[in-house]
């Protein structure tokens, strides 16, 4: 009897396949977090590896243990031998978004405010912890109303905004990393696309992600010393032994006040994970594993809160693709293995060693695939008539990407950037418009896609309400903030060009709402009915 129970819950080959896939996904996200913070923003590496990583990894351990227990319980209840646990890990879009749009800019702002590098890094870390607590609490509350949120916001708005992040931040920036070491990166990307997208078989049934990483490492460390890997090759440094316990801390309390300017980014990140959790649970249900949506969402909320309390700066989420892990033969064991490996890796430091030894050009192809998959899903899962709405939601993200790149001090000095923001030689300052369009872009994307989807469906009232909501949020800088950092404000406190931008953007939404209302008063020639 005991043997039967073990056979029911575990599958050695399948769980190992799932384990490799899930671990590499988590490792890729942590590598990108470290690369953005240390490489792009010159953040102290020691704080990333010994303060941020352990708590983040603990969140993965807690969440995966709970999901494993849920799978075992479902297996017992149904008597089925093919129950597959929900995969949980560090969320890719919000981790990259938080690093690029919140933590990195905040670190720069703290230093500009007079703090030395170490103090600015600690303040940024506390801000990251506070962001996790805010998102975790939001997810906890919305866990009981997740279905309602899904009904209020059109799928094109929710998935379109995620796809916008995926395409611009998760896809484009990593593909630059891929092409910095072209032979290594492009071959690794090709293996991922061949095995995962095109469903091609690899020799020995080796998992595609694992094969891409192993081949990429072999090419990198073979061609690199010979000078054939490209200008992006960096020889490996010495392995540093690190040990850090993710102990609970009230450091997040110090960071709560700093979250206020970033709430237009932080809150949508939490909201999107709730919606994503609903969709992923439904996907697992279709594949045959009927998990409680509320329990899945509460688990990711709890894991995020644990991570934030213990120093983590990246939220956990159930991963898209539970049916794919089921097809690999994974059962209940792969999440247990992943949780223990990642959790202990954060404590004993071997995760940071892997991040340092495995080049981003080898891991970035996985993020590119994630970008492709998420963007494709936005079109596939949304009604076909809403495809234009999904595309429309991409433009604010493009603006945000431009603002990030143009605001990089390596390209444009801060003083010159500020001059360009208020330049009026040719009317409205172009850079100011780009920055305002990109600030709060996640909510903007949802509003734009929701507005267009409502118009396509001839739901004029919903379209008008969406535009008016956009106007109110613009008025206070929730979206289209005219401050470079995207902060909120009282509009009457503004002056000069920023005041003009704020009122023009606000009026644009309101006037369009009026125009749509007037257009709805027309009568349909065919039936003589109004279009409301």
Question: 114-171: per-residue pLDDT in tens?
Answer: 899 999 999 999 999 999 999 999 999 888 775 666 667 777 777 777 778 778 877 8
Average pLDDT over residues 484-501: 78
Full-model pTM: 0.75
pLDDT in tens, 225-272: 888 887 777 777 667 788 999 999 999 999 999 998 888 778 877 876
Going by pLDDT thresholds of 50, 70 and 90, the confidence category of residue 3 is very low
Which of 270-284, 393-407, 502-516 is most confident? 502-516
326 C-beta neighbours (distance < 10 Å), count: 20
Per-domain residue ranges of the chain: 2-382, 388-519
% of the chain residues with pLDDT over 70: 88
Q: Is the pLDDT of residue 215 over 90?
A: yes
Q: Which two tokens stand for residue 11?
A: 């599958």
Closest CA to 270 of 470, 134, 163: 134
Which one has a higher pLDDT value, 162 or 430?
430
Which of 22-36, 445-459, 490-504 is most confident? 445-459
CA atoms within 13 A on the CB side of 105: 24
If you search the block for the tokens 């009232």, which residue do you land on? 461
Q: Is the pLDDT of residue 8 over 60?
A: no
Q: Do residues 232 and 180 touch, judged by C-beta distance below 8 A? A: yes
- Compute the CA torsion angle 423, 428, 431, 434 (nearest 10 deg): 160
Q: Do residues 45 and 34 touch, judged by C-beta distance below 8 A? A: yes
332 C-beta neighbours (distance < 10 Å), count: 23
Closest CA to 57 of 434, 354, 280, 424: 354
Q: Do residues 136 and 277 touch, judged by C-beta distance below 8 A? A: no
């Amino acid at each position: 009897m005991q043997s039967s129970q073990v056979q029911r819950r575990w599958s050695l080959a399948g769980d190992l396949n799932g384990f490799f896939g899930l671990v590499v996904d988590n490792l890729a996200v942590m590598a990108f977090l470290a690369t953005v913070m240390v490489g792009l923003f010159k953040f102290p590496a020691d704080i990333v590896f010994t303060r941020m990583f352990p708590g983040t990894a603990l969140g993965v351990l807690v969440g995966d243990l709970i999901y494993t227990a849920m799978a075992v319980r479902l297996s017992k209840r149904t008597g089925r031998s093919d129950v597959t646990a929900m995969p949980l890990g560090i969320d890719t879009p919000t981790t990259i978004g938080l690093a690029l749009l919140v933590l990195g800019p905040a670190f720069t702002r703290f230093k500009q405010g007079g703090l030395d590098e170490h103090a600015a890094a600690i303040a940024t870390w506390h801000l990251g912890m506070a962001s996790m607590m805010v998102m975790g609490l939001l997810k906890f509350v919305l866990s009981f109303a997740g279905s309602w949120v899904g009904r209020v916001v059109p799928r094109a708005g929710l998935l379109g905004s995620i796809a916008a992040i995926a395409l611009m931040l998760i896809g484009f920036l990593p593909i630059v990393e891929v092409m910095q070491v072209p032979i290594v990166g492009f071959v690794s990307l090709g293996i991922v696309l061949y095995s995962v997208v095109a469903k091609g078989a690899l020799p020995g049934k080796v998992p595609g992600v694992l094969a891409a990483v192993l081949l990429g490492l072999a090419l990198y460390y073979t061609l690199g010393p010979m000078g054939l890997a490209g200008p992006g090759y960096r020889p490996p440094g010495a392995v540093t032994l690190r040990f850090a316990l993710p102990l609970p801390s009230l450091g997040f309390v110090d960071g709560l006040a700093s979250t206020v300017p970033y709430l237009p980014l932080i809150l949508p990140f939490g909201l999107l994970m709730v919606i994503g959790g609903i969709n992923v649970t439904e996907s697992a249900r279709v594949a045959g594993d009927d998990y409680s949506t509320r329990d899945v969402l509460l688990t990711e909320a709890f894991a995020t809160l644990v991570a934030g309390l213990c120093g983590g700066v990246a939220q956990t989420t159930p991963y898209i693709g539970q049916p794919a892990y089921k097809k690999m033969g994974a059962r209940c064991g792969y999440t247990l293995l992943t949780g223990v490996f990642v959790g202990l890796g954060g404590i004993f430091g071997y995760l940071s060693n892997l991040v340092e030894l495995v080049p981003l050009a080898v891991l970035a192809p996985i993020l590119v695939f994630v970008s492709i998959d998420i963007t494709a899903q936005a079109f596939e899962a949304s009604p076909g008539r809403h495809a234009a709405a999904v595309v429309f939601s991409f433009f604010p993200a493009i603006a945000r990407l431009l603002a990030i790149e143009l605001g990089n001090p390596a390209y444009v000095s801060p003083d010159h950037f500020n001059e360009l923001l208020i330049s009026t030689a040719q009317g409205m300052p172009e850079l100011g418009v780009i920055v305002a369009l990109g600030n709060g872009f996640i909510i903007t994307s949802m509003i734009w896609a929701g507005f267009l989807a409502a118009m396509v469906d001839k739901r004029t009232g919903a379209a008008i309400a969406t535009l008016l909501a956009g106007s109110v949020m613009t008025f206070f800088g929730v979206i289209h903030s005219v401050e470079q950092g995207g902060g909120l404000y009282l509009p009457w406190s503004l002056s000069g060009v920023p005041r003009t931008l704020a009122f023009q953007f606000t009026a644009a939404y309101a006037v369009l709402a009026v125009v749509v209302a007037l257009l709805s008063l027309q009568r349909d020639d065919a039936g003589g009915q109004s279009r409301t």
